[in-house]
């Protein structure tokens, strides 16, 4: 709410017809994107912004728009795609949150510094670590110095409206800067509100006008040079121009908002001022919390307290003068920041407001800075009242409060010693079965594993305890367990972000009975590489006992092997003594089943819908084992849960290689009943069918020699690919006649890869 109508403009306006609906911020972002009709959207899924791309993709499958949707390999890639598309001279869109923004951060100044406008929606979320997917403003604050325009959308209506207005300002000839529209993760991204949007999308397109390119990289008759290096004295001039572009944007904003009001009937100011005309005490808050504070201000006004609320709709350019004018008569002000600038005595908003006031020699406002609402902590009217109380007591001199503090922190009990919430750590003796022996065959140079059948080791204590939160029928932990059963001795695991991580640790609980470390899924392999090297160095220095070996295992999903390919390949090329175990469930499952590069062609996912405008995923699945084999690490393997002895033996070999020669990579296909749309109890059958149709061959590449460890053909078990696809809700459409083309392409690719593998198996040099 809060978009007050100015009566004087109501008569003058020529409003376009609108639809009234009940929508979330993400829905409004998706609708506005379609109305704007961007040429290209480059994106990478991250909660809570993921839904925006999902909704746009769904609409594309229904044939409702023709925007090109490009699923990137990570946010850095997404930002690169967007930049590339922007220099091509069209409209570009992206959406992200938290780590996604940070991962792409270094690209943002490149784009603003070369002055190519685009729009990025940011559903704000806490920056890791610790990992917390709910909303605060720690991400958007990182963008403050990127040179992008930053709009703050307080509710779903504002998401739609400011997306349109932001782009209009961004594309002005005197601005030409990319823009962020930030709205509160979950509070705004996921809560439905009453909203209006234009019935006819062309209203938005006409408001924006055709995209006016300045220069573009797609006109060979007029070649341009974009991004040459630029040294002193030009660079400082370039930056000054960027600063002037921000000034131009600030000057243009009232005009753009007024024009938009004519069309929509909704009024926006650069700074939203609520009951500030005569306010003596005030709070400054961004986005949804400001709406909460308005209710509190109303209540206080009823008690005779002249309370007001200030909330910038725009953070870049920073509306310093408007704030100075608005706060001139305010005696005490609480500035709430939903993120800290650690060690600086305030959040970014507090510092910027204080600095704006400093330029007014007449200003006597006492400012208090409070950090609140971190990690999605709610902000209720009572909290706003507490802020007003601080301001009132400060104004009246009836209370002395620190100028900077955290608000809403729960004091701990120093006497309380944290207890480990989980099963006790494994004893050394529990980690060794003594029944697995690995020796080198001097003739073949392959390893020989002597081990009992996997079932005989089933009683051995598991490294992951059963008390985790995976879905019924999930194949992740049975597969990890089977693999780890082949490993003797101590293990340290690093889990990249993904289902296995999310369901097995959540402060203060752990399902792991061994040392466990998490790092974000773009960088786990590098992190574990560092730990391994520290281990060996400390052993060499005598700081850790020699001979007490540890096996280091990184567990990653298939998505982690998209965004983390670079780190994994880097670790492989350095040949750290560690194992990467990828569990492949063919998608980004913990974030809601978006496509990964391992998702096969034609599969239905939440970012590759099936409909008249789209036939599921549009490109073939990645062959990660072959990619890793190309790094020449000593051992690469594939496995599935349904072949436990095979997986156990590969675990034993993996340990030997990681101890003696260097890095190991293994990929296990695991069933995900929730998102594959299969029965919980059918998981093993489905992955076995994937092996039997030769989609997922079981093999190993040991010291560069490829060997199939299971061949369904000579034993008459090979089945058609369609038989496997028919087993899953996400793929059974591929067996319908209208998907004949996709099925044929997919079958041909499966066959090509299988025949190649067989040739490699048969040839001594391959
Ligand atoms: C830089 C960054 N981008 C995006 C995310 C959101 N995210 C976390 S896990 C994940 C998908 C993981 O997929 P996968 O590795 O296949 O594991 P699964 O969930 O399928 O088990 C995504 C997109 C994030 N945490 N950080
Ligand atoms: S979403 Fe899939 S992979 Fe994740 S826990 Fe559930 S079944 Fe397992
Ligand atoms: Mg996955």
Ligand 3 centre from 594 Cα, in Å?
Answer: 9
Q: Is the CB of 524 under 6 A from ligand 1?
A: no
pLDDT for 327: 98
Ligand 1 centre from 75 Cα, in Å?
Answer: 11
Ligand 2 centre from 690 Cα, in Å?
Answer: 18
Q: Is the CB of 677 under 6 A from ligand 2?
A: no
Mark the residues whose beta carbon lies below 5 A from ion ligand 3. Answer: 557-559, 585, 589
Ligand 1 centre from 559 Cα, in Å?
Answer: 6
HEC string of 313-337? CEEECCCHHHHHHHHCCCCEEEEEE
Residue 397 burial by CB count (10 A; 0-12/13-18/19+): exposed, middle or buried? exposed
Q: Is the CB of 132 under 6 A from ligand 1?
A: no
Q: Is the CB of 45 under 6 A from ligand 1?
A: yes
pLDDT for 765: 87
Full-model pTM: 0.96
Q: Is the CB of 78 under 6 A from ligand 2?
A: no
Q: Which two tokens stand for residue 103?
A: 């991962």
Q: Is the CB of 474 under 6 A from ligand 2?
A: yes
Mutation choice for ligand 2 from 477, 478, 481, 499, CB with most ligand atoms inside 8 A: 499
Do the Cβ atoms of 720 and 693 come closer than 8 Å?
A: yes
Ligand 3 centre from 584 Cα, in Å?
Answer: 5
Task: Provide the angle, in degrees to the nearest 10, between the axes of the packed helices 50-61 and 25-36.
Answer: 50
Neighbours of 667 (CB within 10 A): 24
pLDDT for 548: 86
- Atom number, ligand 2, closest to the C-alpha of residue 472: 7
- Atom number, ligand 1, closest to the C-alpha of residue 100: 1
pLDDT for 5: 43
Distance (Å, whole) CA 231 – CA 11: 54
Ligand 1 centre from 667 Cα, in Å?
Answer: 17
29 beta partners: none
Do the Cβ atoms of 81 and 72 come closer than 8 Å?
A: yes
Q: Is the CB of 504 under 6 A from ligand 2?
A: no
Ligand 3 centre from 677 Cα, in Å?
Answer: 15
Describe the chain by its helix, strand, coil percentages, rounded to 5.
Answer: 40, 20, 40
Q: Is the CB of 71 under 6 A from ligand 1?
A: no
Q: Which residues, other chains included, contact 195 with Cβ-Cβ below 8 Å and sequence gap of 6+?
A: 20, 21, 22, 23, 28, 156, 157, 160
pLDDT for 508: 87
Atom 6 of ligand 2: nearest residue by CA position:
471
pLDDT for 8: 45
pLDDT for 229: 95
Distance (Å, whole) CA 539 – CA 533: 10
Atom 3 of ligand 2: nearest residue by CA position:
672
Q: Is the CB of 590 under 6 A from ligand 2?
A: yes
Do the Cβ atoms of 160 and 197 come closer than 8 Å?
A: yes
pLDDT for 406: 98
Give the ligand with the smallest distance to the CA of 594.
1
Q: Is the CB of 579 under 6 A from ligand 2?
A: no
Residue 463 burial by CB count (10 A; 0-12/13-18/19+): exposed, middle or buried? buried
Atom 5 of ligand 2: nearest residue by CA position:
470
DSSP string, 499-514: HHHHTTEETTEE-BSS
- Atom number, ligand 1, closest to the C-alpha of residue 557: 15
pLDDT for 766: 87
Q: Is the CB of 593 under 6 A from ligand 2?
A: no
pLDDT for 9: 44
Burial 139-159 (b: 16+ CB within 10 A, else e): bbbbbbebbbbbbbbbbbbbb
Does residue 660 have a cis peptide bond before it, meaning omega lies within 30 degrees of 0?
A: no
- Residue 61, CB half-sphere, CA atoms under 13 Å: how many? 20
| Residue in this structure with the two tokens 């101590």, named with its chain if needed | 490
Question: Within 215-372, where are the H helices?
Answer: 234-264, 288-302, 320-327, 348-358
Residues of the chain scoring pLDDT < 70: 1-14
Atom 6 of ligand 1: nearest residue by CA position:
46
- Atom number, ligand 1, closest to the C-alpha of residue 501: 21
Q: Is the CB of 317 under 6 A from ligand 1?
A: no
- Atom number, ligand 2, closest to the C-alpha of residue 557: 3
Q: Is the CB of 590 under 6 A from ligand 1?
A: yes
Q: Is the CB of 49 under 6 A from ligand 1?
A: no
DSSP run (H or E) holding 53 = helix 50-61
pLDDT for 11: 43
Neighbours of 364 (CB within 10 A): 11
Distance (Å, whole) CA 587 – CA 603: 10
Give the ligand with the smallest distance to the CA of 500.
1
């Amino acid at each position: 709410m809060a978009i007050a109508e100015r009566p004087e403009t109501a008569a003058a306006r020529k409003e376009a017809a609108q639809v009234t609906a009940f929508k979330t911020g993400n829905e409004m972002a998706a609708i506005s994107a379609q109305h704007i009709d961007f040429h290209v959207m480059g994106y990478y899924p991250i909660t809570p912004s993921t839904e925006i791309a999902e909704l746009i993709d769904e609409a594309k499958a229904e044939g409702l728009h023709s925007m090109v949707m490009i699923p990137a390999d990570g946010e850095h890639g997404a930002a690169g795609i967007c930049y590339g598309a922007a220099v091509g001279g069209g409209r570009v869109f992206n959406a992200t949150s938290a780590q996604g923004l940070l991962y792409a951060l270094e690209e943002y100044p490149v784009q603003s510094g070369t002055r190519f406008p685009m729009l990025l929606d940011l559903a704000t979320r806490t920056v890791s670590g610790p990992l917390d997917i709910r909303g605060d403003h720690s991400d958007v604050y990182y963008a403050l110095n990127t040179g992008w325009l930053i709009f703050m959308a307080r509710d779903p209506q504002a998401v739609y409206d400011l997306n349109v207005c932001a782009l209009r300002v961004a594309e002005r000839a005197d601005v030409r800067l990319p823009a962020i529209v930030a709205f509160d993760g979950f509070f705004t991204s996921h809560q439905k509100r009453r909203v209006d949007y234009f019935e006819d999308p062309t209203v938005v397109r006409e408001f924006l006008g055709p995209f006016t390119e300045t220069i573009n990289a797609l006109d060979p008759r007029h070649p341009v040079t974009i991004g040459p290096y630029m040294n002193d004295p030009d660079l400082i001039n370039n930056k000054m121009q960027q600063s002037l572009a921000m000034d131009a944007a600030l000057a243009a904003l009232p005009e753009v908002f007024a024009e938009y009001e004519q069309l929509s009937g909704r009024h926006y100011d650069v700074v939203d001022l609520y009951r500030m005309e005569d306010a003596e005490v005030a709070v400054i808050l961004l986005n949804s919390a400001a709406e909460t504070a308005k209710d509190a201000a109303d209540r206080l006004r009823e008690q005779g307290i002249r309370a007001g609320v200030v909330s910038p709709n725009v953070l870049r350019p920073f509306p310093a003068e408007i704030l100075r004018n608005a706060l001139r008569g305010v005696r005490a002000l609480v500035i709430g920041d939903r993120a800290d600038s650690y060690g600086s005595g305030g959040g970014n908003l507090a510092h910027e407001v204080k600095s704006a006031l400093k330029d007014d020699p007449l200003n006597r406002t006492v400012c208090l800075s409070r950090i609140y609402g971190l990690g999605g902590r709610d902000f209720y009217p009572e909290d706003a009242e507490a802020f007003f109380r601080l301001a009132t007591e400060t104004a009246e001199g009836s209370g002395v409060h620190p100028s900077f503090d955290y608000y809403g922190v729960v004091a701990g009990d120093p006497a309380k010693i944290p207890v480990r919430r989980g099963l006790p750590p494994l004893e050394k003796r529990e980690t060794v079965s003594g029944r697995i022996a690995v020796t080198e065959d001097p003739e073949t140079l392959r390893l020989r594993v002597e081990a009992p059948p996997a079932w005989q080791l089933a009683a051995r204590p598991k490294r992951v305890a059963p008390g985790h939160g995976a879905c019924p029928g999930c194949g992740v932990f049975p597969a990890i367990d089977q693999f780890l059963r082949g490993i003797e001795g101590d293990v340290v695991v690093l889990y990249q972000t993904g289902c296995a991580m999310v369901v097995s640790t959540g402060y203060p609980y752990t399902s792991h009975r061994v040392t466990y470390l998490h790092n974000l899924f773009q960088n786990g392999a590098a992190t574990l590489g560092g730990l391994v090297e520290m281990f060996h160095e400390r052993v060499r220095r005598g700081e850790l006992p020699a001979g007490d070996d540890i096996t280091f295992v990184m567990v990653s999903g298939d998505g982690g092997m998209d965004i983390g390919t670079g780190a994994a390949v880097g670790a492989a090329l350095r040949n750290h003594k560690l194992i990467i175990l990828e569990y492949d469930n063919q998608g980004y499952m913990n974030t809601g089943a978006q496509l990964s590069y391992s998702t096969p062609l034609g599969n239905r996912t939440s970012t590759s819908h099936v409909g008249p405008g789209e036939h599921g995923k549009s490109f073939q699945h990645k062959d990660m084992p072959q990619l890793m084999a190309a790094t020449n690490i000593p051992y690469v393997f594939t496995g599935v849960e349904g072949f436990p002895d095979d997986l156990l033996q590969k675990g034993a070999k993996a340990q030997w290689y990681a101890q003696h020669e260097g890095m190991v990579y293994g990929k296990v296909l695991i069933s995900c009943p929730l998102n594959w749309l299969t029965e919980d109890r059918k998981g093993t059958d489905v992955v076995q069918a994937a092996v039997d149709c030769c989609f997922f061959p079981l093999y190993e590449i040991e010291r560069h020699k490829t060997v199939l460890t299971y061949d369904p053909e000579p034993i008459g078990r090979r089945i058609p690919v369609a038989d496997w696809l028919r087993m899953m809700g996400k793929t059974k459409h591929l067996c319908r006649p209208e998907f004949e083309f996709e099925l044929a392409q997919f079958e041909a690719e499966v066959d090509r890869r299988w025949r190649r593998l067989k040739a490699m198996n048969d040839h001594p040099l391959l």
